[in-house]
């Protein structure tokens, strides 16, 4: 049983479990699934700087911070007790393409050839981690939600603005991965 759990989980197990988070949070406490809001609450709690957008009672939304702290703990549990010792199995085409950019280590969830403390001050490492992170935070808040709030919660509740947002997430991702990322990774 434990061996089975340690193998990478297939999509038809993981997807439904993630989908069940929607009713779980609603039934536990009338909470709408959404993760990027946690970043806003962190701003409101730590650096409100008299900006109207951060003037609200973040303590009422503290459940969201417990939730993301739980995700962090889940990451620890999964890697400490349930880890699969094998590298991530990826499409051979991707292995070949990434090889051209000197990315050859598939042992971790992040590509440590470009995402590590050592590569933080390389141009491509800085762009991926610092600029990429900034775009994640800025873009999700501008869009009013991320993959969880729009793509999963919003679509579950048949909200067409969430469909627009989800399509734009995907379009942005396709453009970056296929057109811009090859340039960045070549730096």
Partner 1 sequence: MENRNTNWLANLKYLLVGALFGIVFVKAEIVSWFRIQEMFRLQSFHMYGVIGSAVLVGMISVWLIKKFKVKTLNGEPITLQAKQFNKGQIYGGLLFGFGWAMTGACPGPLFAQIGTGATVIVVTLLSAIAGTWFYGLMKDKLPH
Minimum distance between the CB of residue 57 and partner 1, rounded to whole angstroms?
13
Contacting partner 1 (CB under 8 A), which of 99, 100, 134, 183?
A: 134
Nearer Cβ to partner 1 (51/123): 51
Contacting partner 1 (CB under 8 A), which of 1, 135, 183, 187?
A: 135
Using rule CB under 8 A, residue 168 touches partner 1: yes
Q: Other CB atoms closer than 10 Å to residue 150's CB: what's the count?
A: 24
Minimum distance between the CB of residue 104 and partner 1, rounded to whole angstroms?
12
**Rounded Cα gap, residues 2 and 51, in angstroms:** 49
Contacting partner 1 (CB under 8 A), which of 2, 3, 30, 57?
A: 30
Q: Which of residues 3-22 bind partner 1 (CB under 8 A)?
A: 5, 8-22
Contacting partner 1 (CB under 8 A), which of 86, 99, 102, 167?
A: 167
Contacting partner 1 (CB under 8 A), which of 63, 86, 100, 104?
A: 63
Minimum distance between the CB of residue 3 and partner 1, rounded to whole angstroms?
13
Using rule CB under 8 A, residue 101 touches partner 1: no
């Amino acid at each position: 049983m434990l061996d089975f759990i340690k193998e990478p989980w297939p999509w038809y197990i993981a997807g439904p479990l993630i989908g069940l988070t929607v009713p779980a949070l609603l039934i536990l406490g009338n909470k709408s699934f959404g993760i990027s809001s946690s970043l806003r609450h962190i701003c409101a709690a730590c650096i409100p700087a008299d900006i109207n957008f951060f003037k609200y009672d973040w303590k009422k939304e503290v459940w969201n911070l417990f939730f993301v702290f739980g995700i962090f703990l889940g990451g620890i549990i999964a890697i400490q007790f349930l880890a699969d010792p094998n590298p991530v199995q990826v499409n051979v085409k991707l292995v070949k393409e990434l090889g051209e950019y000197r990315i050859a280590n598939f042992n971790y969830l992040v590509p440590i050839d470009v995402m590590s403390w050592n590569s933080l001050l390389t141009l491509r490492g800085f762009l991926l981690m610092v600029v990429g992170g900034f775009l994640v935070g800025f873009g999700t808040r501008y869009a009013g939600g991320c993959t969880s709030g729009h793509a999963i919660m919003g679509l579950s509740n048949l909200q067409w603005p969430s469909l627009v947002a989800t399509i734009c997430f995907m379009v942005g991702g396709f453009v970056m991965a296929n057109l811009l990322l090859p340039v960045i990774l070549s730096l």
